[in-house]
Amino acid sequence: MPVAIRQLHPHFVGEVSGVDLRQKLTPREAADIEAGMDQYAVLIFHGQDITDEQQLAFARHFGERENAHGGNVTRKEDYRLTSGLNDVSNLGKDGRPLPRDHRTHLFNLGNCLWHSDSSFRPIPAKFSLLSARLVNPKGGNTEFADMRAAYDALDDETRGEIEELICEHSLIYSRGSLGFLDYSEEEKRLFKPVLQRLVRTHPVHGRKSLYLSSHAGGIIGMTMPEARLLLRDLTEHATQPEFVYVHRWTLHDLVMWDNRQTMHRVRRYDQSQPRDMRRATVAGTAPTVAQQAAE
């Protein structure tokens, strides 16, 4: 059966049918899905009851796996998932929801802020593939914003002003905006800011997008308050309802997004109920800007 994609939003998002992610993809299917990602930036697959291994194997069609190291405050020995997937659930190693004051939970609440995955890494992520293994009964929708459409809608003056700007991104900025401020010396080293262009160009179709993220906390050559206000204004612009798609999860949905041309956030949900979401992350292949030489 050929891959079929139906567009769900005026700007982006495709719903895919005709693919079984438990099976190995044909080269044609993989190429159709990658082309769909370039065009729609978010793809939704329903009814995919997959294992961690099948999810990772599917992701590998689109590039290397991104190493999760440096992206959280969970100690290795406390990892619930050992398969290589990122744990985006609210669960501890014992399979139960984490206590509300647990450090991992407080850190993970940062996913409720608009962001692009791994924008705090020198080479940020390409695709993320999120599989719903257990859906929370209340809240927990995931929202996506089309950063190409947001860029296209800017006026010429703003485009000129931001074209060459370079931002500093760090997990310390996103978490800091929620008042999460205590880090070990090792975490501070791990979460050192990296540089990212504010406007990036898609390597396949060449459309520009606003490369925003809650991890962005400074702009080179600008004072902090000016930088933060500009980032806030642009984020407000880019996340207006006309650029946003709201995904309401059903069990075994798999949603795949391009971090180079979208932002996303999860909405608050009932923390006392389990929500098991697992993410495969496809590594990017190039930095958006040369990084400063290591100190």
Among 117, 146, 168, 253, binds Mn ion (CB under 5 A): 117
Give one DSSP letter per residue of 15-80, joined into a string.
EEES--TTSPPPHHHHHHHHHHHHHHSEEEE-S----HHHHHHHHGGGSPBPP-TTS-S--GGG-S
The amino acid that residue 14 corresponds to is: G
Among 3, 264, 284, 288, binds ligand OGA (CB under 6 A): 264
The CB-of-114 to Mn ion minimum distance in angstroms stands at: 10
Count residues binding ligand OGA (CB under 6 A): 10
- Binding at 132: pick from Mn ion, ligand OGA, none (beta carbon under 5-8 Å per type): none
Residues found in the chain: 295
- Binding at 266: pick from ligand OGA, Mn ion, none (beta carbon under 5-8 Å per type): ligand OGA
Residue number with the shortest CB distance to ligand OGA? 266
The CB-of-75 to Mn ion minimum distance in angstroms stands at: 21
Stretch that binds Mn ion, among 27-35, 114-122, 152-160, 163-171 (CB under 5 A): 114-122
Interactions with ligand OGA, residue window 67-126 (CB under 6 A): 88, 111, 117
226, β-bridge pairs: none
Distance of alpha carbon 210 from alpha carbon 263, whole angstroms: 9
- Determine, following the binding rule CB under 6 A, whether residue 266 of this chain makes contact with ligand OGA: yes
Give one DSSP letter per residue of 106-153, joined into a string.
HHHGGGGS-B-TTTTSSS--SEEEEEEEE--SSB--EEEEEHHHHHHT
- Determine, following the binding rule CB under 6 A, whether residue 279 of this chain makes contact with ligand OGA: yes
Based on its alpha-carbon atoms, the radius of gyration of the chain, rounded to whole angstroms, reads 18
The CB-of-236 to ligand OGA minimum distance in angstroms stands at: 20
Strands 42-45 and 14-17: parallel
Q: Which residues of this protein are in contact with ligand OGA, per CB under 6 A?
A: 88, 111, 117, 128, 130, 142, 264, 266, 277, 279
